[in-house]
Amino acid sequence: MVKVLSKQELIDFVCGADIYGTGGGGSARGALAQIEESSKEKLEFKIVDAAEIPDDAIVVCPYGVGGGVSEEIRKRFSSLPRLPRRELIHLGIEAIKKELGKDIYAFIPGELGAGNSFMAMYMAALTGKLAVDGDTVGRSVPEVGHSTFNICNISITPYVIVSPFGDVMVVTRVLNDSRAEDIDRFMAVASGGGATVIDHPVEGKKLRDSIVRGTVTKSIEVGRSIREARLRGESPLKAVLESTGGYLLFRGNIESVEREGRDGFSWGRTKVKGSGEYSGHSFEVWIKNENLVSWLDGKPYVTCPDLISLIDPGTAEVVGGRDVTGREVAVIGIKTADIWRTPRGLEILTPKYFGFDIEYRPIEEIMERR
């Protein structure tokens, strides 16, 4: 059954998906602005469960790729004329349709996060198509290869990369998803920090078992719970924990933030000084676009593939970026989708993948021992 989302449901979605974005996943502010624009244009946002997609229908995965670059690179491309976002979307869609020789039935978010998930939904609305109620991660991640499609051996090709200036690259063959990541990232750097990708054309019969299903609906539920808690004067933090099944990992104030834009990623660390029952303790998070590895009092704690988000305890808004020193935050953790705990999942999204000599421990086991 196809469900048409209301404007309020879209706003709730962005709010909820931002939690699952773990500090990344694209701009919530940008997505909310697009919701306002789309509302004026009376665009229809329709979602469908993967089970209802015809076996031979083609679904594609659009997202933005990029992150931090040096100021020198940013300035180098600042004078180039940028095309409107809508025009870039049409360029990408037409290029992938031409390569496939088939129409697109639906779009699936490449990750769960405010901006990137909404991009897929916006593309679907703009073209009169459907968006899949699900995504290919269940959270936001830094690299293309961190995908359930990679776990399930769904081919990434053919795929399209579109720069902000209208350059279009069609990739018909690539060694693997890691190599695709390199190509995409270099294109993003050569575009001043970001580019749009449409990849993983997949038939409906293969899609169903190769994604995390129901995450759009779940994000709407989380966003609604936050909104209703605010209206009732209740704790938005409690609403987040109850609606996500998450854990409160730490509370305190941000002591320091280190951020560096390099190689198309935003690298950094955030340190939190404990308050209240956490006084005298410290919490640290390592970032590669998203929050991925944490330490409690200098000892490894919750890590990817489980989720780590820093939120304002009074509003449940996500706290991130450079200028947040001194902010009060609650650090929450959420269990990852089961597919990430398979041998293949644990091969491509754990601390060891990022070079840390840290064994992954499921978040619920960590919390039971605390």
pLDDT tens figures, 315-351: 999 998 778 999 999 999 999 999 999 999 999 999 9
65 and 201 housed in the same domain = yes
Domain boundary among 213, 246, 263: 213
The answer to the question of residue 229 being in a domain is no
193 and 105 housed in the same domain = yes
Say if residue 116's pLDDT is above 70: yes
201 and 268 housed in the same domain = no
209 and 241 housed in the same domain = no
The answer to the question of residue 226 being in a domain is no
The answer to the question of residue 220 being in a domain is no
Find out whether 163 and 185 touch, Cβ atoms under 8 Å.
Answer: no
Q: What's the whole-number mean pLDDT along residues 288-301? A: 97
254 and 180 housed in the same domain = no
37 and 124 housed in the same domain = yes
The answer to the question of residue 223 being in a domain is no
249 and 357 housed in the same domain = yes
pLDDT tens figures, 172-215: 999 999 999 999 989 988 888 889 999 999 999 999 999 999 99
Residue partners of 11: CB distance under 8 A and separation at least 6:
32, 35, 223
pLDDT tens figures, 11-40: 999 999 999 999 999 999 999 999 999 999
178 and 239 housed in the same domain = no
Please count the structural domains in the chain: 2
Residue 67: pLDDT band with limits 50, 70, 90: low
The answer to the question of residue 307 being in a domain is yes
Q: What CATH number did the domain enclosing 120 receive?
A: 3.40.1610.10
317 and 202 housed in the same domain = no
What is the C-alpha separation between 199 and 188, in angstroms, rounded?
15
Domain boundary among 154, 178, 213: 213
Domain boundary among 144, 178, 213: 213
Find out whether 130 and 46 touch, Cβ atoms under 8 Å.
Answer: yes
The answer to the question of residue 267 being in a domain is yes
Q: What CATH number did the domain enclosing 242 receive?
A: 2.40.390.10
Which 8-state DSSP code applies to residue 80?
S
Residue 243: pLDDT band with limits 50, 70, 90: very high
Say if residue 244's pLDDT is above 70: yes
148 and 19 housed in the same domain = yes
48 and 159 housed in the same domain = yes
The answer to the question of residue 139 being in a domain is yes
What is the C-alpha separation between 341 and 362, in angstroms, rounded?
9
Which range of residues forms the domain containing residue 155? 3-213
The answer to the question of residue 227 being in a domain is no
173 and 238 housed in the same domain = no
